[in-house]
Every structure is written in C-alpha cells, then in structure tokens.
Amino acid sequence: MSEATGPVLAADGTPLKRSLSRALRMQKLRALALVAPLLLFVLVTFIAPIADMLFRSVENEIVENTLPRTAAVLADWDADHTDLPGDDAFEAAYYDVFIAAERKLHTRLGTRLNYELTGVSSLFRKTGRALDDIGEVYQDQFKALDKDWDKGTPWAELMGTQAWIDGAQGWKKADGPLDRLVVRDDIAALLPATAAAYQEFADFSILEDDKSPLKEEPWTLVHSALYTDLAALDVSGYGGPRAEMLKAADALVATPEFETINTREALIDIEDGWADHEVWQTIKTYSPKYTSGYFLNAVDMQKSPEGPIMRDEDERIYGLLFKRTIFMSLAITISCVLLAYPVAWILANLPMRKANLLMILVLLPFWTSLLVRTSAWKVMLQQQGVINDVLVWLGLVSDTERLVMINNQFGTIVAMTHILLPFMILPMYSVMQTIPPTYLRAAKSLGANNWTAFWRVYFPQSVPGIGAGSILVFILAIGYYITPEIVGGTTGTFISNRIAYHISSSLNWGLAAALGTLLLAVVLILYWAYDKIVGIDNVKLG
Amino acid sequence: MTLTPARKMPLSFTLPVVGASGGFFGLFVGTANGSGLMGVVIGFLMLAAIAYVVVNVAGKTKEKPARWALVALFIGLGVLLGGAPGVVMGLLFGWFAGWFAYFIGFGRYRQDLAPYLTSGQVLWEYAFRILCGAIFVFLITPIIVVMPLSFNAQDFFTFTPEMLRFDPEGYSLKHYRDFLTSSEWQGALRNSLMIAPAATILSVGFGTLAAIGLSQPHVPFRRAIMAILISPMIVPLIISAAGMYFFYSRIGLQGTYFGVVLAHAALGIPFVIITVTATLVGFDRSLVRAAANMGADPVTTFFRVQMPLILPGVISGALFAFITSFDEVVVVLFVGSAKQQTLPWQMFTGLREQISPTILAVATILVAVSIALLATVEMLRRRSERLRGMSPG
C-alpha cells in the first residue's frame, strides 16, 4: 500500500496536521471573540482612565499653551545666571499675559505655578488686572490723533481682506459664528507685530466673545503693537486702505513729544514680582510640555537649577503620609492575621454544620455595606458612643475622662481591621480546610507536644493562606478612602485622602495624579506578587 | 456524640471554678455600684454557694427546676439592683449560672474532648474557644449595635437612659419615617436603584460571555487578559475614581447617569468573571458535545444546556456586581454629580457632617438587604455544588 508512507489525511483529504491546526485556530478565535467585547469595554471604561491619570501626572501643557511667546524667548535664557531675562522676554510676557487675561486663563496658570512658587498666583492676578494701563498710553495718543483708531471698522479695514469684510457686513449673532478674519498679506509683512496681535484679538472676539471685530474696539495690546511696529519699521510705501490714517500715526510716533513706555519697567511697576529672578526661573523650568515636577512634589522634592533637591523640612508632608499609610496598612494587616488565624482554625476544624453556622458571622459583615460598618464604628467609638458609655457605666473610666478612640490612628486601625477581617479569614479558611487533621494527630503520636505539632507541622502548611490573605488585605488597606475619611480625623488619614483632597479641593490634579501613580505602582507590585504566589484564578469569593 | 463520659467533679474543683466566674462578673456589677472588691467577694461566694446547692442538693435529677429557680432568683436580684434592664441581665446571668454550675460540676465540659487530654490542655482548649468567641463578637457587634439604635427616639447616636430602661417612650420609628418621607433620601434610593441594576446587567452580560470564552481550552494570552479583567478589583478605588474623573470629564461623561453606570459596570466585572469561571471549572464540556451530537445548534446548546447549569454562578456573580454598585461611594463621588447622589453617598455626607441618626435606620435596612442577599448566594452556592455533585449537602 503506497498511501501508508504519505502524511496522515483527514476525512476530507487535507493532511491531518493542517486540519487539526485549523480547528485549533478556529477554537482560539471563537474564544477571543467571546472575550473581546468585555476586554474592549474594560479597556475603554477602566484602563483608559488609568492611562489618562498616568499621563496627567507628567503633563504640563498649561504654561506652554498660555505663555507660548514667553516660553520660546526663555528657552534661550540662561536661568542659572542671576540676571533677569532681556527686554524681549518682558515684551513676550506682556503679550502672553494680556491675551491670557482677556481669555481669563491667567488665574489658572497662576494657580498652577503657585504650586511651585508661592506668590505667583497673585502676581498673575494683579498683572492681568493692570495690563491695560500699558496699552492705554498708546491708545490714548492714537485716539487723540484720530478717533478712528479706537473703532472696530477702521481697524478691520486696515487689517482684513476685502472679501472678509464684505462677508462680515450685516452679520448677526443668530447667523452662527463668523468666519475667521483673514489679515491681508501686505499688512502682515508691513506690520508683523500688529497683524499678529490683531489676529489674536479678532479670533478671540469671533470665537469666544461671539462678536464681530467690525463692531469691537481692539485691545490696547494692538495699539502697543502698532507703536512697536511704527517705531521700528518704515510704512511710507504703504498704499492700501486707510493709508492716510496709518501714515499720520507714523508721523506722530516720530515726533519727540510722543509718550512711550518701557514694558519691563511697566511690568515691574505693576507687580515687583516681575523683577524676581525666581519667578522667571519657575516659568522657564515649567515651560516644557512634560514635567517631572509633580512626581518630585509627591516625594517632597522640588526642581532647582542644580537639579532636584529635597524640600524644606517643614514642607515635607508626602513622605510622612506615605510612611504613615504603609505603617497603618501593616498594622491593620498584622492585626487581621492575629484575629483571623484562630477563627479560620476553628472554622476549619469544627464539624461542617457548626462551621457553616459560624461562617455566617463572618460572611454577614462581608456582605454588609461598607458605609453601614463605618457608621457602626463611628457610633461605637465616639466619646459619647457605645463603648465609652459601657466603660463609664462599668466604672472603668470616669465620665470626665472618656477615651478618645475616634478621629485618630487607633480608630482607623480598629474600624479597618473589622472591615477587612473577612478578607483575611476566607483565604486562610480555604487553605486550612485542605490540611488533613491526621497530620497533627500523627505528629502528636510521634511524641510532639501540642505546640511543636502546631508550629512544625500545621503552621508551615497554613502559611500560603496567611500570605494570600495578607497581600489581599494590605492591597485593600493601602488604598482605602472612606473609612479613614470618616473615622481618621487628621492623624489617621491615608494617602488616598490626600489624593481626594487634591482632586476636589485644591484642584492640583497633576499632583493628585502623581500621588495616585505612586500608590498604583505599589499596589501593582503587590498584585504581581499575589498573582505569583496565589494565582489570580484562585481568588474565591464567599 | 460524647468522647469522654461525664463524671461528677470533686467540690474542691467545682466551687472555686464556678466561684471565680461569679467573681469575674461580680467585679463589673461591683464597680458599677461603687465597690469592685465587694462585688468580687459577693459574686464569688454567691456562685460558689449556687454550685454547692446544684451539685450536692439538686443534683442531676432536679436539673430543670433548679435552673429555672436560678433564673427566677437572678431576675429578682436584677429588678432590685437595676430595674427593667436588670430583668434582661438577670435572665442572662441566671441562665448562665445554672448552665455553668452543671457544666463544671458534672464534668460535662470534657464530653466532646479526647479523654487523654491533660487538664492544662482542656483549659487551653476552652481559653481558645473563648478567644474565638470574642473575635466573633468583635465581628458582629458593630452590626448588631446599629439596629436598636436606629429606633432611638432622640437624635443621638448612642443609647439613651430611656432606651436602657426599656421605656417605650425611648423608642420610635421616626428615623424610618424620616427616611421614607425625606425627598433627599428617597431621591438617593431612587438613584441607587436606577444605577445598580443597569450596571449589573452590563457587567453580567459582558462578563458571562467573557468567562465562557476564557474557560475554553485554548485561549491565547489568557493570563494577561485575566489580569486586565480582574484589575478593577485590585486597583484602589480612589485611583480608579481619580482616573475616571479625569477621563470621563474629557469625554463629557462626568456627572452623567451613563458615566456612573459605565464606571460601576467596570467595577463589577471582576466579580462576575470570578464567580462564573469558578462555576465553569466544574462544567462537563462533553455535555455540549452531546447536545451538538443530537443536532442542537450552538445557541440552543448554550441556552438549553450550558446556561441552566452555570446559572447559579451567574446569579451570584450578578448579586456581587449589584452589591458592588449599590455600596459603592468613592467612584460615584467623583464621577457623579449631585443629580446622581446615591444612598451610600448620602450616608457618607451624613456621616461627615453628622446630621441625623436617619443614617442608622438606613443602615439597618441595608443590613436586612445584605442578609437577604447572603442567604440567596449561600443557597445558590449549595445548589450549584449539589447540581455538580461536588458535595453532598
């Protein structure tokens, strides 16, 4: 028989190997198709938010977005030097802060930079209020020369293309947003700074104010820019719309009576913080798009020209908080082990029926709402609470010296030990159930006393249960928020309370994200260890 | 079943032991009434006398009347010392004194212990049981204490003297009435009942399918997929909440009903995956092949053969998902807005600002709900094990 030497064939004539691998592939694809919807769901609703948080912990676009010109100028400035940056930096800061103030973004930037250097917030706020004073010097003079310099339409005619002006004529709010103003090329080449400033103004009034630049008088910033351009450039060759008006202004600027203002001095005059080397340094340090600043802050360090340094002793809070979180989580884990071990032992060694009955006492707290258990502890531990009342009634404590058991570390540890105890008992119980009681009897019949039999025979076999329970409890404890918030007071709070504070109260989201990332890293390492030791498939519930 | 025959113990053992227990309780009664030492002495003498009477006079033959007499005696004492609450204390003490005197006096304490144990080992055994008992008390007391307090007639978080006197004036249903009539609480309840079922349906739907997929014999990247699907349970809630807050406000879901449902569904998924995969471990795949063999298409096979068998796992997964969402407060605090204020959220703000014991009424209701849920899950687990022949009962 000649076929016997060839490959083994399946019923339909294809080689068996190929047909088998195809069947296997089909099976894999079917399994993946079943898993895919959920995987996608979790990726979008859960993993993406976590990734977003990681991103926020380094993201720092606000400085670059709000102060683009200043950031560009400062890129070349040597921050180590004690000199202030040049006039161009002040000029750029004037433009940036003016625009930011119009768009009401300067206070947000101030808040952001205030995390790094106290006082910057008020610097930006004050500057934003007073910046119009600089431009008004020019605006008033141009206005005195020709009223048209303070009106929308003449400016638009000077700067915009005819096509745009025609299109914008007769526009009403109801028509929806106006087209973006297009600056004529010849004027953009002739008056670059003015064109840029006017473009900003026109964009702002169209997009954010919903008003036509034809009707709006331009910002004083545009007048300042016009002065800068006229002082430096020659406009005599210009022949487009409103040429007369422009040339008259040029002539006015050339006269010695024309009042000018120095931007550097003006800024320092508004708020002397602008003369502070540190302010400029901070702006420069935090102008890149990404920063390690939040992470440094989260470990009590800060940026400095010499690289990261520790903060002052009295400003270090996060190291302490992390240490306290870990210490308290450890204390909770240890007390859980101590309390859970006897209970798990007795559950595993009692007859089935009794054990099931007692198991209810473990499962009931497990199933009871966390808020219920936390409120129960609040009721129990208060100074006018149940425990104190009982102690006073028994005469162990006098009425005036009731124990302080809440709003401190003690309260948090007791309440959280109670809340997390089932998570320790259940894994321990499931491990102890598998230890044959005959081993202990064998050890005793070989002459071991109770203690030796327990310590040398039983205990080593129950260690996996302790390990599984401990990691689980520690992971859960380290990220707890509700219970410490309610019974922790000020000394019993965890890092998570600080994260919540930064998200909802201080609004320092970057720092919250950085703290969260550090906490997540700790938890993931433990999760990995848990997976190695216990296996994530072996998690049991109830 | 008795391991060791009970025998009458000598008085030199019974009297001091029973007396010591009397001294122990006497200490508390004594301190409460002025002198601890007097309490110890009186308690000791009293119980020792009782033990003598019980063992030598009443004996086994008159056990019942003797114990009833003791209960009556102690109730009388209780009324004398402390009024109405004294009745309850007296009842408990009387029952205990009788039981303990017989327990020790007639050596019943050795009945279910091995006969070869030394007295030290017996003592240790009982000390251990008492320790375990104390831990169980620690586990359950906070939950028990909440219940009577929720009937408090005052706005206090503790027992009032009226309550301790069992004065009906001290009790009222006003906190329950508060809960049922206040629009805030009712709104919160409504929100909870709107969010939790929706989140449960989402997580059970996706989760069951995925668990079936994951339990197929050849799944590529099984470990990695499992790690991702379980992660919502492992990542601390505050981190999930922070991330969701940032991300959902980017895509406009923050502060919406839909956003909260999605967030809660994500949190419930690990529980569904774990319970359903656990049920599928015991699922006999040849049943599917048998069904196919008899001409059932995959959909019919799933609904007529596989689903009924894994249903207990699916339902208990659903209950877990439901309770996760129903209890959840951190994520909803951040992802939700005032319009999505749920029951736990309302409790949380109540606890922080300490407004009213209505919280305790809600807590009692929630405990009742969780007892119901626990019973359901236990029943399902047993049913599932019986179905799969894993355990007899």
Residue B264 CB-density burial (10 A; 0-12 exposed, 13-18 middle, 19+ buried): buried
Q: Is the per-residue pLDDT at A2 higher than 50? A: no
- Residue B378 covered by a domain: no
Q: Is the per-residue pLDDT at A521 higher than 90? A: yes
Report the C-alpha gap between B54 and B13 in whole angstroms: 14
Where is pLDDT greater, at A421 or B27?
A421
Co-location of B324 and B208 in the same domain: yes
B237 neighbourhood in chain A, CB within 8 Å: 479, 481
Cβ atoms of residues B22 and B96 within 8 Å? no
B28 touches chain A (CB under 8 A): yes
Q: Is the per-residue pLDDT at A42 higher than 90? A: yes
Greatest distance between any 2 Cα atoms in chain B: 86
Contacts of A257 by beta carbon, 8 Å cutoff, 6+ apart: none
Overall average pLDDT of the A518-536 stretch: 84
Q: Is the per-residue pLDDT at A3 higher than 80? A: no
Co-location of B106 and B209 in the same domain: no
Interface probe, candidates B123, B154, B235, chain A, greatest A C-beta count within 10 A = B235
Co-location of B85 and B191 in the same domain: no
Where is the domain boundary, A29, A49, A69? Answer: A49
Confidence class for position A290, pLDDT limits 50, 70, 90? confident
Confidence class for position B243, pLDDT limits 50, 70, 90? very high
* Torsion sign over Cα B261, B263, B268, B272: positive
Co-location of B228 and B99 in the same domain: no
Overall average pLDDT of the A307-322 stretch: 84
Of A198, A194, A192, the C-alpha closest to A180 is A198
B234 neighbourhood in chain A, CB within 8 Å: 475, 523, 527
CATH number of domain containing A427: 1.10.3720.10
Q: Which two tokens stand for residue A542?
A: 């109830």
Co-location of B111 and B203 in the same domain: no
Please tell me the total count of domains within chain A.
2
Q: What is the pLDDT of residue B388?
A: 64
Report the C-alpha gap between B367 and B362 in whole angstroms: 9
State percent of chain A over pLDDT 70. Answer: 97
Report the C-alpha gap between A109 and A131 in whole angstroms: 16
Give the residue carrying structure tokens 């006229």.
A230
Co-location of B104 and B252 in the same domain: no
State percent of chain A over pLDDT 90. Answer: 20
Cβ atoms of residues B31 and B48 within 8 Å? no
Report the C-alpha gap between B322 and B327 in whole angstroms: 8
- Residue B131 covered by a domain: no
Q: What is the pLDDT of residue A73?
A: 84
Q: Which residue of B has its CA nearest to A21?
A: B218
Report the C-alpha gap between B316 and B312 in whole angstroms: 6
Where is the domain boundary, B85, B116, B147? Answer: B116
Overall average pLDDT of the B75-83 stretch: 81
Structural domain including B108 reads 11-116
- Residue B326 covered by a domain: yes
Rounded to the nearest angstrom, the minimum Cα separation between B30 and chain A is 8
**A-proximal residues of B, 115-174, CB under 8 Å:** 121, 124, 128-129, 131-132, 135-136, 138-143, 145-146, 149, 156-159
Where is pLDDT greater, at A541 or B96?
B96
Interface probe, candidates B246, B262, B326, B353, chain A, greatest A C-beta count within 10 A = B246
- Residue A254 covered by a domain: no
A37 neighbourhood in chain B, CB within 8 Å: 206, 209-210
Q: Is the per-residue pLDDT at A303 higher than 80? A: no
What are A290's strand-pairing partners?
A59
Cβ atoms of residues A121 and A111 within 8 Å? yes
Q: Is the per-residue pLDDT at A320 higher than 70? A: yes
Q: What is the pLDDT of residue A5?
A: 64
Confidence class for position A536, pLDDT limits 50, 70, 90? low
Co-location of B344 and B205 in the same domain: yes
Structural domain including A40 reads 15-49
- Residue B89 covered by a domain: yes
Co-location of B225 and B327 in the same domain: yes
Confidence class for position B393, pLDDT limits 50, 70, 90? very low
Overall average pLDDT of the A99-125 stretch: 84
Q: Is the per-residue pLDDT at B392 higher than 70? A: no
Where is the domain boundary, B93, B116, B139? Answer: B116
To 10 degrees, what angle do helices A120-130 and A263-270 make?
120
Confidence class for position A331, pLDDT limits 50, 70, 90? very high
- Residue A155 covered by a domain: no
- Residue B386 covered by a domain: no
Confidence class for position B203, pLDDT limits 50, 70, 90? very high
Q: What is the pLDDT of residue A540?
A: 55
Interface probe, candidates A30, A38, A386, chain B, greatest B C-beta count within 10 A = A38
A346-393 pLDDT per residue, tens: 999 888 888 888 988 888 888 888 888 998 898 888 888 888 888 887
Average pLDDT, chain B: 86
- Residue B6 covered by a domain: no
Contacts of A225 by beta carbon, 8 Å cutoff, 6+ apart: A95, A191, A193, A194, A196, A197, A198
Overall average pLDDT of the A301-321 stretch: 81
Co-location of B104 and B196 in the same domain: no
- Residue B97 covered by a domain: yes
Q: Which residue of A has its CA nearest to B114?
A: A441
Confidence class for position B389, pLDDT limits 50, 70, 90? low
**What letter would DSSP give residue B157?**
S
B114-161 pLDDT per residue, tens: 787 888 888 888 999 999 999 999 999 998 888 888 888 887 777 777
Co-location of B317 and B214 in the same domain: yes
A7-34 pLDDT per residue, tens: 778 777 788 888 888 888 988 888 889 8
Q: Is the per-residue pLDDT at A117 higher than 70? A: yes
Average pLDDT, chain A: 85
Q: Is the per-residue pLDDT at B219 higher than 50? A: yes
Please tell me the total count of domains within chain B.
2
